[in-house]
Amino acid sequence: MREFGYQRVGDVAEAVAVLGDDPEARFLGGGTNLVDLMKTGVERPARLVDVRELPLGQVESTADGGLRIGATVTNSDLAAHPEVRRRYPALTQAVLAGASGQLRNMATVGGNLLQRTRCGYFTDVTVACNKRLPGSGCPAIEGEHHNHAILGASEHCVATHPSDMAVALTAFDAVVCYETADGPGELPLADFYLPVGDTPHLETALPSGALITGVTLPPAPVAARSRYRKVRERASYAFAIGSIAGALDVRAGVVHDVRLAFGAVASRPWRAREAERSLTGGPVSADAFAAAADAELAAAKVLPHNGYKVPLMRNLVVAVLTELAEEAAR
Amino acid sequence: MTTTTGIPAATGALGTARTRVEGRDKVTGAARYAGDIPLPELAHGWLVLSTVARGRVRSVESDAVLAMPGVLAVLHHQNAPRINLDYVGMVGRPDPVIGVFQQDRVPFRGWPVALVVAERPEQAREAAEQLVVHYDQEPHDVTFYAGHPGAYTPEDSPFGRAEETKGDVEAELAASAFVVDAEYTTPEEHHNPMEPHAATAHWDDGRLEVLDSNQGSTWVATELAQIFSLDPGSVRVRSEHVGGGFGSKGVRPTQVAAAMAATVLQRPVRVVMTRRQMFSAIGYRSPTAQRVRLGADASGKLRALDHRSECLTSTVHEFIERSASVGRVLYDAPAHHTSDRVVRLDVPTPTFMRGPGEAPGSFALECALDELAEKSGIDPIELRVRNEPDRGPISGLPFSSRNLVACMEEGSRRFGWADRDPRPGLRREGRWLLGTGMAAASFHSGVGPSTAAVTAEANGTFTVRINAADIGTGARTAIALVAADALGVDPERVRVVMADSDLGPAMFAGGSMGTRSWAWAVSMAVGELRERLALGGDIPPEGITARSDTSEAIGALAQKERHSFGAQFAEVAVDVTSGEVRVRRMLGIFAAGRIVNPLTARNQLVGGMIWGISMALHEEAIRDRASGGHVGPDLAGYHFAANADVPLVEADWVDDPDPDDPVGIKGVGEVGIVGAAAAIANAVWHATGVRHRHLPIRPDRVLSAGTNVPEHRPGA
């Protein structure tokens, strides 16, 4: 582990200035991923700029009825916030489905969005990985990939994004707010993560040196009836092998609005727009739910050991939408 | 106060529930472990492990890291002192992995190739990670599978015979009314004690002193004396507190590298492993591929039992996971064949891991019994009762005691087994299919020679000195209870001094033999002490000490089949649309000899059962064919049961004192895991109608297999 400089900053402008354009400097949030990566040698920063004490720790209602979540809000505080629980219950469920109580007390919203894949080849500096060392190859494709991507991957990388929180945020059209030396900016979460293509090492559209300051959730009445379901290889403290954030608004027996996002199937939280399109305006039935899942999963490309994710996601779509429809009917 | 001789009648300390005597120290952080103990001038060594799976070290570019801040030395095969590995230790010949830096050959990925020593651990780590090692790489084979052409039948060893045969298996199978023929696999599994392997070595007045984390300081000290060609009295190993061992904490590269560096630098050196290093350098459980064939007559009585298991070992040392041996104890049949074969691959040497042999072996055999119960329509417990042997099926020897049927009957009563509908796939609760299963368990009860000293102090207390190891099991407390009971005094009056090789030779904490071995020596010393105290008179200031050595008594022990037994029960819930399996409750009833401390014995049994949950559902080390190393070797990547996976787990026991043991002990360390995975797998079948014969029963496997309930659907 390389020796590194450490500096704590008190306001956003200072944070951005202190980081500067130094490629060897990193912002430190809760450190629940970055510090692990430093221990394994995947990250070797020369400097850490600790942003935990920035005044970005609030969850506030916006004028239009949405929420603005500060970047340093901890996962625990986000999940417990009454307005999050009331207006976006799937977000609370997603956050609580992740990590452990101790980690959630440390992890921040900004850091959660920027966490790296847990692909076992990415975290082992003694083997090849196109994400870690561009051009070195992707051993997962021929090797261990039973929890790798089925959607949006490429021959260069099949890693998945590990966040649960980001799946729910994606379903609800979250917008990432950031600050650079040139001023503030915004990126819809849908555009935040870059396609894999042949540049799996380029993960986000965030400008160089930018600090995430928060996430805005637009008002989404459909989100009030939403849920997050996560399947993993043990009951707690494991990354998903498949997860889903779903929201359903049924009016007069017809799907008025629906949101679906998948986790653990792609290099980013996967908004299931094909499925949403298939459902909107249509009937509320298991057949329709299954057809919608199939529409989304038609693009799936499976490897020898991750093909189970297709029926898994199909089953999750049907199960979660069925539960939401039953809830609506009560 | 001066105590005169004449000890009152036994207080019955044995069998009373006592919290650990060092419990407060542990939970408050006062207890110091091998990596915590401060020493002046302490330097820190960091192991460098090979990144190729087969080849030779061409060169070690140590100059660059020697220039880094704080770096004191880089030890590797070209500059390390020569050591001796030509000896036979307490568990046989040494695994060459402990003979650090003696050769350029690299037999597996994760082989220690260098040690970087620096003033601070951070400096040592960074330098170790920057150290460039050049290899001449050779093609490797790390892939284990059934029927590997390299598999061979190993020589017999003190740990067991490779093959046992009686009768004509094929003829009996052909004549059987019911036949099961099934293949089972278990993956590579790793013990990950909470405390990593750590050793601090220094020279003190001409003696090599090692503060260590181990399962037996006699074991480690005698081997270190051999390795460094020292007089046995010139080595002292202490291991005051140990945060778990599970078979992995014998002699490991940590002690040898630390002692070597302390010798070269003539200052104290500490070597601690990282979690990732532990996946390569401390041993593990071999994967197994097992085939079980059972033939039974119309009444369910076995006519043939054939259990063939294959495991792997490294190219440099042979360790056999003796999975097939469990059937030599549990069931008899006129035709009986059991064999363990092994293949050498370019991987680290496996080692003892909780329930070695019996844990994976019982998964295959006890699932096969369940399949026979299904085929024959006989209740799984009744089937086992009908096949109870009255003597050792292979040895023909009598059992010292065998209370397996009592375990099954008591378990059946408490679990509610009688109400069970044997048909699979009938029970549903929301998205969950429910099922129950059971399995039998056994683990051999052994004992090793030990010495002990018990002193009646002038102040009325007693001091027990024995080189026992408390690896978290509560051994220190158990020894105090044994001594107090034999002395007939309150345990508060007994102090136990242990985990120090200077106390004299003693058995290690392993093979479920620790408590039995130490209790024997302690009770023998107390017997001698009581005789001397009975002579009367005052106790002098230095006290009166009696010593024992159990070698002769153990050597005179009659040849018998000596085992702990148990019956495991599990209820599971399975969602075949997601593949999730949740254990809802477990019950284990054991016949494991006299229970010294119900609190810590239950702790061990429940711990074993929880490990069985992990074995059934979670544990699996994945080896990458191309690199020869693991994928995700840490506790995020290698899954075991989290608290949320552990439901109500109950362990209890039936009365089962061993008649030939002075204290009646058998051992509780391993039997708790045996059969647990089979009980869960059998319950998964009962829930879904699908046999899962490959561990772990992962969600993708459950999802892909679905259900198989052809004749009687829920509600039909």
pLDDT digits (tens, 9 = 90+) for B347-360: 999 999 999 999 99
Judge whether B528 counts as a catalytic residue: no
* pLDDT score of B7 more than 80: no
Quickly list DSSP for B602-627. Answer: HHHHHHHHHHHHHHHHT--PPBPTTT
A124 contacts on B by Cβ (under 8 Å): 629, 631-632
Q: Which of A118, A241, A319 sits opposite B636 (nearest CB)?
A: A118
Which of B123, B135, B624, B638 to mutate: most A Cβ within 10 Å? B624
Percentage of chain B modeled with pLDDT above 70: 97
Q: Do B577 and A123 touch (CB under 8 A)?
A: no
Q: What is the pLDDT of residues B680-705, one digit of tens each?
A: 999 999 999 999 999 999 999 999 99
- Note whether B644 contacts A237, CB cutoff 8 Å: yes
**CB of B486 within 8 A of CB of B518?**
no
- CA gap A314, A330 in Å, rounded: 25
Q: How far apart are CA B641 and CA B611, in angstroms?
A: 8
**Among residues 16-55 of chain A, which lie with CB inside 8 Å of chain B?**
40-41
Report ipTM (2 d.p.).
Answer: 0.97
Give the pLDDT mean for B459-467.
97
- Any chain B CB within 8 A of the CB of A233? yes
Examine the pLDDT at B712 and tell me if it is beyond 60.
no
Task: Name the band, by pLDDT with cuts 50, 70 and 90, for residue B158.
Answer: confident
Q: Which of A32, A141, A144 to mutate to test the interface with B (most CBs of B within 10 A)?
A: A144
pTM over 0.80: yes
Are the Cβ atoms of A312 and B645 closer than 8 angstroms?
no
Q: Is A237 on the interface with B (CB under 8 A)?
A: yes
Give pLDDT tens digits for B624-648.
999 999 999 999 999 999 999 999 9
A–B interface: beta-carbon pairs under 8 A: 98
Tens digits of residue pLDDT in A174-207: 999 999 999 999 999 999 999 999 999 999 999 9
In chain A, pLDDT over 90 holds for what percent of residues? 99
Residues in chain B with CB shorter than 8 Å from the CB of A242 are 578
With contact defined as beta carbons under 8 Å apart, do B405 and B412 qualify? no
Distance CA B667, CA B401 (A): 13
Domain B23-31+448-555, CATH 3.30.565.10 — does that match? Answer: no
At residue B666, the pLDDT reads 97
Average pLDDT over residues B479-494: 97
Smallest Cβ–Cβ distance between B644 and the set A40, A121, A236 belongs to: A236
**pLDDT at residue A330, as a whole number:** 82
Q: Which of B130, B391, B127, B94 is nearest to B251 (CA)?
A: B94
Query: Which residue of chain B is at minimal alpha-carbon distance from A239?
Result: B636
Which residue in the set B577, B630, B644 is minimally distant from A315, CB to CB? B577
A231 interface with B at CB cutoff 8 Å: yes
- Domains along chain A with CATH numbers: 1-50 (3.30.43.10), 223-329 (3.30.390.50)
Nearest CA in chain A to B124: A1
Sheet of B648-653: strands edge to edge? Answer: B427-429, B432-444, B563-575, B580-591, B648-653
* Beta carbons within 8 Å of B145's beta carbon, 6+ residues apart: B289
Instruction: Please check whether residue A136 touches B, CB under 8 A.
Output: no
**Cα gap B110→B444, rounded to integer Å:** 33
CA distance A215 to chain B (A): 28
B122/A234 Cβ within 8 A: no
Instruction: Tell me the pLDDT of chain B averaged across its residues.
Output: 96
Q: Which of A118, A233, A311 sits opposite B698 (nearest CB)?
A: A233
Per 3-state DSSP, chain A is made up of helix, strand and coil in percentages (nearest 5) of 30, 25, 45
φ and ψ at residue A186, rounded to 5 degrees: -140, 150
Q: Quickly count helices (H) and strands (E) in chain A.
A: 13, 12
Q: How far is Cα B102 from Cα A94, in angstroms, rounded to an integer?
A: 52
Between CA B484 and CA B601 the distance in angstroms is: 18
Q: Is some CB atom of chain B closer than 8 A to the CB atom of A330?
A: no
Q: Would you state the pLDDT for residue B400?
A: 97
B301 touches B331 (CB < 8 A): no
* pLDDT, tens digit, 9 for 90 and up, residues A15-56: 999 999 999 999 999 999 999 999 999 999 999 999 999 999
The answer to whether A165 touches A112, Cβ cutoff 8 Å, is yes
Count the Cβ atoms, other than its own, within 10 Å of residue B362: 32
Q: Determine, for residues B645 and A235 on separate chains, whether the beta-carbon distance falls below 8 Å.
A: yes
Q: Which two tokens stand for residue B368?
A: 């096969």
Tell me the Ramachandran region of residue B689: left when phi exceeds 0, alpha when psi lies from -120 to 50, beta otherwise. Answer: left
Q: What distance in Å separates the CA atoms of residue A173 and residue A218, rounded to the nearest whole number?
A: 7
| Residue A118 to residue B637, Cβ atoms within 8 A | yes
* Structural contact between residues B309 and B333, judged by C-beta atoms closer than 8 angstroms: no
Helix (H/G/I), strand (E/B), else coil: A35: helix
Mean pLDDT of B8-36: 89
Interface test with B, best of A124, A160, A239, A244 (most B CBs within 10 A): A124
What is the least distance, in Å, from the CA of B137 to any CA of chain A?
Answer: 14
Give a three-class secondary structure readout of A261-314: EEECCCCCCEECHHHHHHHCCCECCHHHHHHHHHHHHCCCCCCCCCCCHHHHHH
Is B713 a residue whose pLDDT tops 60? no
Average pLDDT for residues B226-240, to the nearest whole number? 97
Peptide bond into B696 cis (omega under 30): yes
Q: Which of A118, A120, A143 sits opposite B625 (nearest CB)?
A: A143
Which residues make Cβ contacts (< 8 Å) with residue A291, sequence separation at least 6? A278
- What is the CB-side half-sphere exposure of residue A180 using CA atoms within 13 A? 10
Sheet order of strands, A183-188 included: A59-61, A67-70, A211-217, A175-180, A183-188
Q: Which of A1, A142, A237 sits opposite B122 (nearest CB)?
A: A1
Name every residue whose Cβ is closer than 8 Å to that of residue B204 and which is 6 or more positions away in sequence: none
Options 3.40.50.2000, 3.40.710.10, 3.30.365.10, 3.20.20.70; which CATH number does B397-445+559-716 get? 3.30.365.10
Average pLDDT (A259-273) is 98
> What residues does A262 pair with on adjacent strands?
A244, A270
Contact B629 A233 (CB under 8 A): no
Pair type for strands A59-61 and A67-70: antiparallel
Architecture of domain B43-139+192-281: 2-Layer Sandwich (3.30)
Contacts of B627 in chain A (CB under 8 A): 126-127, 139, 143
Alpha-carbon distance A219 to nearest alpha carbon in chain B (angstroms):
32
Contact B108, B314 (CB under 8 A): yes
- Tell me whether residue B707 is exposed, middle or buried, using C-beta atoms within 10 angstroms of its C-beta: 0 to 12, 13 to 18, 19 or more: middle
Shared fold status for B23-31+448-555 and B43-139+192-281: yes
Q: What is the dihedral of CA B149, B150, B153, B158, to 10 degrees?
A: -150
User: B11 falls in which pLDDT band (50, 70, 90)?
Assistant: low
pLDDT at B9 over 70: no
CB contact under 8 A, A139 and B627: yes
Shortest CA gap B631–chain A (Å) = 5
Chain B residues within an 8 Å CB radius of A144: 622, 624, 631-632
Q: pLDDT of B503-558, one tens digit each?
A: 999 999 999 999 999 999 999 999 999 999 999 889 999 999 999 999 999 999 99
Measured between CA atoms, how close is B439 to chain A, in angstroms?
23
Q: Which residues of B touch A (CB under 8 A)?
A: 51, 122, 125-126, 129, 276, 431, 577-580, 582, 617-618, 622, 624-627, 629-632, 636-637, 639-645, 698-700, 703-704
B409, B620, B670, B711: the catalytic one is B670
Burial status of residue B149 (CB atoms within 10 A of its CB: 0-12, 13-18, 19 or more): exposed
Choose the closest CB to B704 out of A238, A241, A308: A308
At CA B606, angle to CA B604 and CA B612, rounded to 5? 105
The bridge status of strand B269-272 relative to strand B43-49 is parallel
Select the residue from B48, B578, B640 to test the A interface by mutation, using most A Cβ atoms within 10 A. Answer: B578
Tokens (6 digits) for B299? 């009444």
Domain boundaries, chain B: 23-31+448-555, 43-139+192-281, 397-445+559-716
